[in-house]
Amino acid sequence: MRIATCLHEGRRWCGVVEDTVVRRLPDGTSPLDAALGVRPVGPAVPLAEVRLLAPLEPATLRDFVTFEEHVEGVRRSIDGSGGVPEAWYDAPTFYFTNPYAVIGPYDDVPVPPGSKVLDFELEVAAVIGREGRDLTPEQARDHIVGYTILNDWSARDLQSREMRVNLGPCKGKDTTATLGPYLVTADELEHHRDADGFLRLALTAAVNGEVVGKDLLSNMSWTFEEMAAYASRGTVVRPGDVLGSGTCGNGGCLAELWGVRGRQDPPPLKPGDTVTLTVEGLGTVSNTVVAGTGPVPLPFARRRPRERP
C-alpha cells in the first residue's frame, strides 16, 4: 500500500494511492494507522489535484551512515582524509537530525542561512510502526511498518567547520529534509529482498535533469532491521520514528563526487537548481532550490577570564 498525506481544498488528510488517484481515509486517520490496516472510505481524487505533503511527521529522525563508498568519498571531501575510519565498521552509527525541518516531496528548498555550498543526499528511510526496546534484528522486522525516500540536504561549508569541534553536524544539517512521496508499506517491498536480507532497490539522483548518481540500496553494510535493533539498544523506538539509511554511494551526493574528483564538479547547488531522486518501488521526489534568508548576526565566543568562586 502507498499512503499519502495530502492538502486538498484547504484540508489536510491521509489517503491510499491507487494508480493515479488517492482515496481518502477516515478523518483523524494517521499514516501509521493506515499502514496497520485502516481502509479508505472516501471517493477517489486525482493525484494531480492534491498537494502531496511529507507522508508523516516524524517523532524522531535518526540518520545512519551505512554506505562505505559514501563515507570514503565524503571524508576526503570534508576533511581531506582518505579511507574509512576503522570505528565505522563496529556498528551502524547515526546522529539525530531535525524532525521539524521535514518538507514534502515537491516543496522548495531554501539555501541555509550563511551557506554557499549546498548539497543533496539520496537516502531511503524506514519508519517504525510498533514500540520496542532492545530488539534483535529478527524482532525488528515486525516493527518496521514501511519505507519512504529521504533527501538529507546538507550545507557542506557549515558542516565542515562545525565538525572540527567533534560535535555536530549542527546547522550543516538543520534546515531541510525531504520525505516522500509516499509511505510504502513494508510488504510492498518484500519481493525485492535478497538472500542476505537487503532490499535490492535501484537509486538514481539527477540535478536539472542530468543523472549524477546511481546505486543499489543493497550496497548498505547493515540491513534496516539491524539498524532498528541498534537504535533500540538501551532505549525505546516508538511509532513514527524514522531511520535514514545514510547516503548511497556512486554519486548519492555531490560531496562524494568532489572527494573522488578532487574538485567541486558538479558545482554546489544554487537557487533554480532542481534535484530529483528516484527509488525503485518508492517513487520520486523533486525539489527546487530557492534563495534563503541571511543569518541572524551572533558574536564570536567571549574568551572568559576563568574566575572561580
Q: What domains can you pick out in the chain, each with its CATH number?
A: 2-52 (no CATH), 61-290 (3.90.850.10)
**47, pLDDT greater than 90:** yes
Q: What is the pTM of this model?
A: 0.97
Q: What is the DSSP letter of 208?
A: T
CB 278 within 8 A of CB 123: no
Q: Which amino acid is at 79?
A: D
pLDDT tens digit sequence for 284-303: 999 999 999 999 999 999 99
Q: How far is it, in rounded angstroms, from Cα 46 to Cα 20?
A: 6
**77, pLDDT greater than 90:** no
Q: β-pairing, 242-244 with 61-64?
A: parallel
* φ, ψ of residue 89 in degrees (nearest 5): -75, -10
**80, pLDDT greater than 80:** no
**82, pLDDT greater than 80:** no
| Burial 221-252, CB ≥16 within 10 A → b, else e | bbbbbbbbbbbbeeeebbbbbbbbbbbbbbbb
pLDDT tens digit sequence for 13-46: 999 999 999 999 999 999 999 998 888 887 899 9
The per-residue pLDDT for 26 is 93
CA-wise closest residue to 144 among 39, 232, 68? 232
> What's the pLDDT band for 115 if we cut at 50, 70, 90?
very high
Question: Which set of grid coordinates corresponds to residue 117?
Answer: 555550498
Q: How many residues does the chain have?
A: 309
> What's the pLDDT band for 64 if we cut at 50, 70, 90?
very high
Q: How far is it, in rounded angstroms, from Cα 160 to Cα 147?
A: 30
What sign does the CA torsion over 247, 250, 254, 258 have?
A: positive
Other beta carbons within 10 angstroms of residue 31's beta carbon come to 26
Q: What is the largest CA-CA distance in the chain?
A: 71
CB 197 within 8 A of CB 223: yes
The per-residue pLDDT for 174 is 96
The per-residue pLDDT for 200 is 98
**150, pLDDT greater than 90:** yes
Those residues with Cβ within 8 angstroms of residue 171's Cβ, 6 or more apart along the chain or in another chain = 112, 113, 114, 155, 158, 162
User: CA triplet 170, 171, 175: central angle to 5 degrees?
Assistant: 125
The per-residue pLDDT for 243 is 98
pLDDT tens digit sequence for 179-232: 999 999 999 999 999 999 999 999 999 999 999 999 999 999 999 999 999 999
SS3 75: helix
**76, pLDDT greater than 90:** no
Instruction: List the single range of 66-80, 139-153, 289-303 with lowest mean pLDDT.
Output: 66-80
